[in-house]
Amino acid sequence: MKRVAVLLLLWMSALSAYAFEPFVVRDIRVEGLQRISPGTVFNHLQVKVGDRFDTRASERAIRSLFKSGYFSDIRLERDGDVLVVVVRERPAIASIKIEGNEDIETEPLLKSLKEIGFAEGSVFNRSLLERVEQELQRQYFSRGKYGVKIKTTVTPMERNRVAIRIDVSEGVVARIRQINIVGNKVFDDETLLDQMQLGTPGFWSFYTKRDQYSKQKLAADLETLRSWYQDRGYIKFNVESTQVSITPDKRDIYITINITEGQQYRVKEVKLSGEMVVPPEELFPDFRINAGDVFSRKLVSQTVERISKRLGDQGFAFANVNTVPDVDEETREVTLTFFVDPGKRVYVRRINFAGNDKTRDQVLRQEMRQMEAGWFSESRVERSRTRLQRLGFFQDVNVETPAVPGTTDQVDVNYSVTEQPSGSISVGIGFSQTSGVLLNGSVSQNNFLGTGRRVSVAINNSSVNRIYSFSYTNPYYTVDGVSRGFGLFSRSTDANQANITDYTTDTLGGNINYGFPINEFDSIRFSAQADSLKLKLSSFPSAEVTDFVNAHGDSFKSLTLSASWAHDTRDRRIFPNSGGVQRLSAETKVPGSELEFYKLRLQLQHFVPLTSRLVLAMNARVGYGDGFGDFDKLPFFQNFFAGGVRSVRGYQDNTLGPRDNQNDPLGGSFRTVGNIELVFPPPFVEHSHSVRLSTFFDVGNVFPGVEDFDAGDLRASVGIAGTWLSPVGPLAISIAKPINTQDGDDTQAFQFSLGAPF
């Protein structure tokens, strides 16, 4: 009681010491300022001349001034009716020097410190410096350097300033030496560890950083293990505990994960419940899990997504599908009920476009598969976005579907695009191992005056080809998407420069073409071309060339009719990640022309995304041709060829297949080529739309006719390749190893082409 009484007396005496008579402020005087202006003090003081100043006003003023962070000490005094504010400013930061930081660059670090108010010229705050130390430590921890030591030194300077020095001793990266999983009986340690991001040091650890511990990665790995088990029927799987320990020298980390697997469960029955706006018989085919299957959380989620998507395509954009499991512990079976709450059918009020400063709205609306005033369809909205991307006019396309304010059944569909140059005027030079130096000049515009029409004038000159051409295409000649185009060209080809038997052709002609969409992914195209061809022989032509000229002459005027069908589901035309192309084409000379032959071509392409960074690309091409009328076979200058960068790599361009009597490649009437590639972006690059690398397996050859095909004569190669869409044209490089060469084959391990057609 005596101690309480003494404390009470001290508290009362303190109050009496600070107590003063309230007064009306007639003036305010500030003392002790060095760098900070009086106006700053007045803004934070919350007292003005004419105010009544009492104890409560004093508390508010001092609290507000301290909160500004500019002062280390504040006193309020009275001089008659004048309020005197006596302050002591915090020191200013004169310099910040960071030493010993190798993993984190100094300039970005100083920039980030400046964003939080810790920079030269700022007021020094000790608590902020402590935050800087903690953040630096956190960043090094995230890099696996748990032995990092950070020492800060604050040196006072004249004029109330301080110099700050931060010394960093980074230490070494701590590595995961062992991961122990305790309690697993169904799956062994190796299988489970393969599912995890974290792991012990290996050959690729320098790139994947898999052996660097991260709390976030461990949490993700635990969820991965939970999904792994629950996707295989182990509903009761649980992670009991985890222990992470680090050695005293901060170099090695040991992780122990304790799990309980439980028993495997199967699906007893699958039911649909709720409001069935779509007949159940239409929804059941979308089910990925059925009675008798092992329970899988992944398949349940996929079923929910597919049902939601089906409802969304019917206009129920905000439908909810919930899974209600009924677990029978005795039989270890699960009855799944998918409860459907469709909500209201949603309609599209307007479709809006933003960012298309050059491209007309009409060009974008032509690609729309979602219509205004129709019910909302998620797949149609997404398909419209894909079609906009495939135009080639936009670098990026995004879509949002905000609800219309004040309604519960309407949305707007807003597409925002980022335009990119769709035309070019260029004069360039390139090089190809086959074509030699490539001189080219072109004026092209794929989006002429923002109308979506394509216009091109090109001049190309190389040791193989000299081409002058003009072309025009209107992809929406009619509102139904029928395209029309025409072109004129002059082409001279020196076959000997392309590793082919020695002859030269000069061709002059023109063409017109029409394209007709059949459905969203299929189209057909028809074209007609009239041309005049002049065949020139060398001083020492081969017997095959001489025999042809003696039988048919060296000048030909003809009319060619062509037709093609294509089924294209690629997500983009250049560097696709998914989908594929199936294309069948036929061309024939009109009977009665001075040349009479036909050609058939089939191309099959398919792209399978294996991961977010790996794509499996498969390609097969088959070509066949023959003559008719006065021509008993395909003219030699229309033969098919194989070998080279864009065919069977590892063999010189156009050198595979039959040869003439001078042992020069002659080509043949039947060609088959296949490629399998594992495509991936360059290492250390997150997103690249201009560079692709791949490992490949090529196979193919050319035969005199279909009846001459022999699988034993196919040539094959393996290797690595890269393609870069450089400013001067596509650069294709490959390093290939032929694996079944025969006598007389012309091999070429390293091949490249710059500025050649893509």
pLDDT for residue 10: 39
Does the residue 646 lie in any domain? Answer: yes
pLDDT for residue 426: 43
CATH, residue 333: 3.10.20.310
Give the helix/strand (H/E) hosting 586.
Answer: strand 579-589
CATH, residue 456: 2.40.160.50
pLDDT for residue 286: 83
Cα–Cα dist 720/735, whole Å: 6
| Last-in-domain residue among 148, 169, 190 | 169
pLDDT for residue 365: 93
Q: Pairing mode, if any, of strands 175-182 and 252-260? A: parallel
Give Cβ neighbours of residue 576 (< 8 Å, ≥ 6 apart): 570, 607, 615
Model confidence pLDDT, tens digit, residues 406-435: 988 999 999 999 887 655 444 444 444 444
Asked if 647 and 717 sit in the same domain, the reply is yes
Asked if 577 and 479 sit in the same domain, the reply is yes
Cα–Cα dist 527/560, whole Å: 8
Cα–Cα dist 660/279, whole Å: 67
Which residue's entry shows tokens 């195209």? 525
**Residue 728: both structure tokens together:** 């001067």
Q: Does residue 4 have a pLDDT over 50? A: no
Give Cβ neighbours of residue 750 (< 8 Å, ≥ 6 apart): 733, 734, 735
- Average pLDDT value for residue range 186-193: 92
**Residue 352: both structure tokens together:** 């809006």
Buried b (16+ CB within 10 A) or exposed e, 608-619: eeeeeeebebeb
Does the residue 5 lie in any domain? Answer: no
Q: Domains in the chain: how many in total?
A: 6
Q: Does residue 670 have a pLDDT over 50? A: yes
pLDDT for residue 79: 87
Query: Which of 488, 422, 435 lies closest to 458 in space, CA to CA?
Result: 488
Model confidence pLDDT, tens digit, residues 602-630: 999 999 999 888 999 999 999 999 999 99
Range of the domain at 709: 423-754
Q: Could you tell me the pLDDT band of residue 7, with boundaries at 50, 70 and 90?
A: very low
- Contact indicator for 450, 426 with CB cutoff of 8 Å: no
Helical pair 297-313 and 215-230, crossing angle rounded to 10 deg:
90
pLDDT for residue 108: 80
Asked if 556 and 516 sit in the same domain, the reply is yes
Cα–Cα dist 172/246, whole Å: 13
Asked if 704 and 674 sit in the same domain, the reply is yes
Cα–Cα dist 63/67, whole Å: 6
- Contact indicator for 519, 565 with CB cutoff of 8 Å: no
Does the residue 466 lie in any domain? Answer: yes
Q: Does residue 60 have a pLDDT over 80? A: yes
- Average pLDDT value for residue range 575-581: 90
Query: To the nearest 5 percent, what fractions of the chain are helix, strand and coil?
Result: 20, 45, 35
Give the number of other CB atoms < 10 A from CB of residue 166. 20
Mean pLDDT of the chain, nearest integer: 86
Cα–Cα dist 587/600, whole Å: 7
Q: Could you tell me the pLDDT band of residue 724, with boundaries at 50, 70 and 90?
A: confident
Does the residue 15 lie in any domain? Answer: no
Asked if 642 and 738 sit in the same domain, the reply is yes
Q: Could you tell me the pLDDT band of residue 515, with boundaries at 50, 70 and 90?
A: very high
Cα–Cα dist 321/306, whole Å: 10
Least confidently predicted of 47-56, 106-115, 694-703? 106-115
Asked if 685 and 747 sit in the same domain, the reply is yes
Query: Which of 119, 115, 116 lies closest to 97 in space, CA to CA?
Result: 119
Model confidence pLDDT, tens digit, residues 624-665: 999 999 999 999 999 999 998 889 999 998 899 999 888 888
* Burial of 571 from C-beta contacts in 10 A (0-12 / 13-18 / 19+): middle
Cα–Cα dist 223/230, whole Å: 10
Asked if 165 and 65 sit in the same domain, the reply is no
Model confidence pLDDT, tens digit, residues 364-385: 999 999 999 999 998 899 999 9
Q: Does residue 3 have a pLDDT over 60? A: no
pLDDT for residue 124: 85
| Sign of the dihedral defined by the CA atoms of residues 162, 163, 167, 168, in that order | positive
Least confidently predicted of 102-106, 482-486, 524-528? 102-106
pTM: 0.65
Asked if 492 and 608 sit in the same domain, the reply is yes
Asked if 611 and 726 sit in the same domain, the reply is yes
* DSSP at 294: B
- Contact indicator for 729, 428 with CB cutoff of 8 Å: yes
Asked if 360 and 330 sit in the same domain, the reply is no
Does the residue 17 lie in any domain? Answer: no
Asked if 304 and 439 sit in the same domain, the reply is no
Q: Could you tell me the pLDDT band of residue 448, with boundaries at 50, 70 and 90?
A: confident
Does the residue 7 lie in any domain? Answer: no
Does the residue 398 lie in any domain? Answer: yes
| Last-in-domain residue among 169, 191, 209 | 169
Model confidence pLDDT, tens digit, residues 268-312: 999 999 988 888 888 888 889 999 999 999 999 999 999 998 898
Does the residue 3 lie in any domain? Answer: no
Model confidence pLDDT, tens digit, residues 287-299: 899 999 999 999 9
**More reliable by pLDDT, 423 or 520:** 520
- Average pLDDT value for residue range 669-676: 97
Asked if 249 and 297 sit in the same domain, the reply is no
Q: What are phi and psi of 181, to 5 degrees?
A: -110, 120
Model confidence pLDDT, tens digit, residues 113-170: 887 778 888 888 888 888 888 888 888 887 778 888 899 999 998 888 889 999 999 8
| Last-in-domain residue among 55, 89, 123 | 89
Cα–Cα dist 637/621, whole Å: 20
- Average pLDDT value for residue range 508-525: 95
Cα–Cα dist 470/510, whole Å: 9
